[in-house]
Amino acid sequence: MQRGASLGRAMVSLATRGAPAHLARARSGATATTSSLTRASSHNGARHHATWSLQPSHPTPRPPHRATRGRPSSPPVVARSSTTDSTSTSAIKGDRVTLPPPGDVHLWIMDPADAADPALCRDYRERCLPASERDALESEAANMTEGALRQATHSKALMRWVLARYCGGEVAPADLRFAHGEHGKPRLVGVGGGATSSSSNPSASHDDDDDDDDAAWTRIRFSVSHTNRLVVLAVTSAPGIEPALQQRWKPCGSPTPSASPGWGADVPANASHEVGVDCEDERRRTSAAADKLAGRWLSALEHDALKAIGDDDARASAFMRTWTLKEAYVKALGTGIAAHPFGGFDVTLRQSDGRSKVSSGLAPPSSPGVITLTERSGTSAVERRAWAATASRWRMALLKPRADDSLLVAVCADGGSREGSNDASAGMNVRVRWTVPMVGDVAEGTRPPPTLIARSEGFGALE
């Protein structure tokens, strides 16, 4: 099982003051749950499969305008139905969805409380995961807490169930095949196991038509993150597969290769069309003071900004916001902290007028602030200039899935890819959908709309 969130590893490193060699194993890619997507679990023995359904209680109509948003009278709950056997195909495969255009993001959110029933978690492991993942997770389950096992199961189920829907109606979640990049970032590299199928050849040329099921999977780019109260999957698309890059991707289960020239902090990563997502609880309080963590891991500019906040809770919340944005960025790069240290770039949050910092309190701001990314990575003037030139291509957004909650989600996507350049006018539109794997998408209006805290210049719309 992959090590925990990198913030947790940063806390351990701060406590021990040892060299951060362990960060070579840090998560660097789209998933925040495992470093190998082949690690999952099995549930042996025959059992009755129940059908699962969302049963909203008194759903609230979707507000006509974001300013008039209201809270639902009761959130949807997951319940078991004894009338239908969920061994049916429809219980495993969801309705097909179309990929967003390059630069836009679909943000799928799962509330773990909607899938807390142990029987549903067993269904996820039995029916969304291939046998190799089930076997691997079961072998590690003895060393995991019940909560950790549930989080790993939820994130894998969400990833596979949703991504399969982009691949076509006949694709089951367990049919998806993944590989790792140079620093562990997962990529979907095939659908099904047939050696003669077109999906078994990632380098094959495909039509970019959204209706071509064989081509859809080659264009998917994604990132996953979770906390104990939230699981999120960000999905965007690339115009087409890049055959020349396939040598960098290794089948899941094989050792993750070390960094090679042209990758990492020294040279800008080739991360065209990629996306990264991270989620945290803004009220999370670390065992080390926020200013100590900031001094150890963040840039000097970010550390100084945090020190200027007098209130301890406000300073800790501001630290969590900054950390979450930086995590999303390095996950989009596919490098992680190990190859792209946080101290080498700045993420600043300011009000839209540019005259003051974004409020660090838990309440959403009256208007979204502005996120600015400044790259200073590199060991020479040439490298630093190369990195600095890439900053304008990235679009970032910090949002709250629920305005009255402390959960944060940060999204970072390659916005310049839409126009084929670093043009800052290329926006990033983010569409949020709540869902429960094998159950269905939560009806619009039964969850409050998301609240945008801050965004990059050129950001499009949040739906």
Show the tokens assigned to 412.
Answer: 């970072």
- The torsion angles phi and psi of 105, rounded to 5 degrees, stand at -135, 135
Sign of the dihedral through C-alpha 210, 214, 215, 219:
positive
- The torsion angles phi and psi of 201, rounded to 5 degrees, stand at -120, 95
pLDDT at site 9: 62
CA 22 → CA 31, 254, 286, 377, 452, distances in Å? 18, 19, 19, 21, 34
Return d(Cα 97, Cα 415) in angstroms, integer.
Answer: 21
- The torsion angles phi and psi of 372, rounded to 5 degrees, stand at -125, 130
Return d(Cα 276, Cα 396) in angstroms, integer.
Answer: 9
Residue 426: what residue type? A
Tally of CA atoms within 13 A in the half-sphere of 12 that contains its CB: 12
In the block, tokens 């309705």 appear at: 95
Show the tokens assigned to 189.
Answer: 């590299």
The answer to whether the CB of 164 falls within 8 A of the CB of 148 is: no
Q: Which helix (H) or strand (E) holds 107?
A: strand 105-110
Return d(Cα 8, Cα 323) in angstroms, integer.
Answer: 12
Indicate the burial class of 244 (C-beta count within 10 angstroms; 0-12, 13-18, 19 or more): exposed
Return d(Cα 366, Cα 441) in angstroms, integer.
Answer: 30
CA 112 → CA 157, 184, 231, 303, 437, distances in Å? 11, 25, 7, 33, 11
pLDDT at site 182: 79
Report helix, strand or coil for 76: coil
Return d(Cα 440, Cα 463) in angstroms, integer.
Answer: 19
pLDDT at site 323: 94
Report helix, strand or coil for 354: coil
Indicate the burial class of 380 (C-beta count within 10 angstroms; 0-12, 13-18, 19 or more): exposed
Return d(Cα 127, Cα 240) in angstroms, integer.
Answer: 30
The one-character DSSP state at 462 is B
Cβ neighbours, 10 Å, residue 24: 16
- Pick from 317, 314, 278: nearest CA to 406: 317
Return d(Cα 456, Cα 373) in angstroms, integer.
Answer: 8
Q: Which helix (H) or strand (E) holds 230?
A: strand 230-237
pTM for this model (two decimals)? 0.78
Q: In a structure prediction context, what are the per-residue pLDDT tens digits for the chain, which is 463 residues long? A: 333 446 766 655 554 444 333 333 333 344 333 322 222 233 333 333 444 555 443 333 333 333 333 333 334 444 333 333 444 444 566 788 999 999 999 999 999 999 999 999 999 999 999 999 999 998 998 899 999 999 999 999 999 999 999 998 789 999 999 988 878 888 899 988 643 333 333 333 333 444 455 578 899 999 999 999 999 999 999 986 554 444 444 445 443 333 333 345 666 767 889 999 999 999 887 656 777 888 888 999 999 999 898 888 888 999 999 999 999 999 999 988 888 889 999 999 987 665 555 555 555 567 899 999 999 998 889 989 999 999 999 999 999 999 989 999 999 999 865 544 444 456 799 999 999 999 999 998 888 899 999 999 888 899 8
Return d(Cα 218, Cα 238) in angstroms, integer.
Answer: 8
CA 460 → CA 84, 133, 353, 420, distances in Å? 43, 38, 18, 17
pLDDT at site 48: 38
Return d(Cα 226, Cα 214) in angstroms, integer.
Answer: 30
> Alpha helices of 142-187 — where are they, by DSSP H?
146-167
Order the strands of the 451-456 sheet from edge to edge.
Answer: 275-281, 407-414, 394-400, 451-456, 369-375, 345-350
